[in-house]
């Protein structure tokens, strides 16, 4: 067991990097997740996380930094999901299933070609925020700020299509373009979340803070604040407990998120 006290934790550079990258990623996930949940598109994150498995395996096979190669592939997959659901007789959840299955199958084949599942690939599967490099921290903060700024600029468009797409279209909002924007932002967010909680748990970081906020908030902006607060606290508390108890960081962060969700349900019932 690792014996740290709470004050000495902050003296370690790898912990400071984990807090920075994790907090910014949590804020972008929680903000975007609220729109996805209200649009009933929350499983898009799960599908894209499976695609990222194949993209990361391809990067490792090619000898390229996996995150850089995975970004355009996940964005293309997000657009493909939307195209399949729009242009064919395939519903959204089925389109997600088709693309995610292709991603997993491709990842398994590529992993086998690169001599199986190595330690690096497993770290992407289950997350390893404590091993984040300075380059990855800067990359995470930069993309997180881009996502949050885009949400701010297109807030009313995203808000309108989340609650009434037909009214938004009548009002002159380019619904199609906003939908593409939403799935592209989701693709970037999924990529950011992989380092924090891993491919297997990405959807939890997108969904749980959002549904937690919706249990106790009656206003959308308040829900955004609560979602961001619970997501950030989950990351910080999860990292601390994972170090103190020698637990997997990604899984611990998700469990802390679940505790907040249960508390929100209890508070909602008491109201």
48-52, 88-92, 153-157: lowest mean pLDDT where? 88-92
pLDDT of residue 184 exceeding 80: yes
- What pLDDT is recorded for position 116? 56
The answer to whether position 18 is within a domain reads yes
Q: How many CA atoms lie within 13 A of 85 on its CB side?
A: 21
- What pLDDT is recorded for position 117? 56
Residue 60 CA: distances (Å) to CA of 56, 74, 190, 191, 206: 6, 16, 19, 15, 26
User: Residues near 124 by Cβ (< 8 Å), separated by ≥ 6?
Assistant: 52, 53, 56, 66, 194, 195, 198, 199
Average pLDDT, the chain: 81
pLDDT of residue 178 exceeding 70: yes
Confidence of residue 194 (pLDDT cuts 50, 70, 90): confident
Closest C-alpha among 4, 32, 8 to residue 162 = 32
pLDDT of residue 2 exceeding 60: no
The answer to whether position 84 is within a domain reads yes
Is residue 205 a contact partner of residue 26, using CB atoms and an 8 Å limit?
Answer: yes
Residue bearing the bigger pLDDT, 2 or 266? 266
Is residue 28 a contact partner of residue 144, using CB atoms and an 8 Å limit?
Answer: yes
Of 34-38, 117-121, 161-165, 226-230, highest mean pLDDT? 226-230
- What pLDDT is recorded for position 1? 43
pLDDT of residue 172 exceeding 50: yes
pLDDT of residue 51 exceeding 70: yes
The answer to whether position 160 is within a domain reads yes
Total domains in the fold of the chain? 1
The answer to whether position 139 is within a domain reads yes
The answer to whether position 225 is within a domain reads yes
CA distance 164 to 142: 32
The answer to whether position 234 is within a domain reads yes
DSSP the chain: -----HHHHTTSHHHHHHHHHHHHHHHHHHHHHHHHHHTT-THHHHHHHHHHHHHHHHHHHHTS-HHHHHHHHHHHHHHHHHHHHHHSS--HHHHHHHHHHHHHHHHHHHHHHTTS--HHHHHHHH--GGG--HHHHHHHHHHHHHHHHHHHHTHHHHHHHHH-HHHHHHTT--HHHHHHHHHHHHHHHHHHHHHHH-GGGHHHHHHHHHHHHHHH-SSHHHHHHHHHHHHHHHHHHHHHHHHHHT--HHHHHHHHHHHHHHHHHHHHHH-
Please write the tens of the pLDDT for every residue from 76-124. Answer: 888 887 777 666 655 556 777 777 777 778 777 877 776 655 556 666 7
The answer to whether position 271 is within a domain reads no
Instruction: State pTM to two decimals.
Output: 0.82
Radius of gyration of the chain (CA): 18
- What pLDDT is recorded for position 93? 65
CATH number at residue 222: 1.10.3470.10
pLDDT of residue 148 exceeding 60: yes
Residue 225 CA: distances (Å) to CA of 205, 222, 254, 265: 15, 5, 19, 17
pLDDT of residue 199 exceeding 70: yes
- What pLDDT is recorded for position 180? 87
Residue bearing the bigger pLDDT, 106 or 213? 213
The answer to whether position 1 is within a domain reads no
- Domain, as residue range, for 145: 6-266
């Amino acid at each position: 067991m690792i014996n740290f006290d709470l004050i000495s934790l902050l003296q370690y550079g790898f912990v400071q990097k984990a807090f920075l990258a994790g907090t910014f990623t949590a804020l972008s996930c929680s903000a975007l997740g609220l729109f996805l949940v209200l649009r009933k598109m929350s499983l898009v994150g799960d599908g894209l996380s499976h695609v990222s498995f194949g993209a990361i395996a391809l990067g490792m096979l090619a000898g390229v930094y996996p995150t850089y190669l995975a970004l355009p592939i996940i964005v293309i997959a997000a657009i493909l999901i939307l195209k399949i659901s729009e242009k064919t007789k395939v519903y959204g959840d089925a389109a997600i299933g088709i693309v995610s299955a292709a991603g997993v199958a491709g990842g398994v084949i590529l992993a086998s070609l690169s001599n199986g599942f190595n330690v690096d690939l497993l770290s992407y599967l289950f997350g390893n925020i404590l091993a984040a490099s300075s380059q990855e921290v800067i990359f995470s903060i930069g993309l997180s700020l881009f996502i949050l700024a885009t949400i701010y600029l297109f807030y009313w468009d995203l808000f309108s299509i989340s609650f009434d797409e037909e009214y938004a279209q009548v009002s002159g909002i380019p619904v199609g373009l906003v939908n593409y924007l939403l799935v592209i932002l989701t693709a970037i967010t999924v990529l950011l979340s992989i380092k924090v909680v891993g491919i297997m748990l990405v959807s939890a970081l997108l969904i749980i803070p959002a549904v937690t906020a919706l249990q106790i908030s009656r206003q959308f902006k308040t829900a955004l604040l609560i979602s961001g607060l619970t997501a950030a606290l989950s990351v910080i508390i999860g990292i601390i407990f994972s170090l103190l108890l020698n637990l997997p960081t990604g899984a611990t962060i998700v469990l802390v998120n679940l505790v907040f969700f249960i508390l929100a349900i209890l508070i909602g019932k008491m109201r």
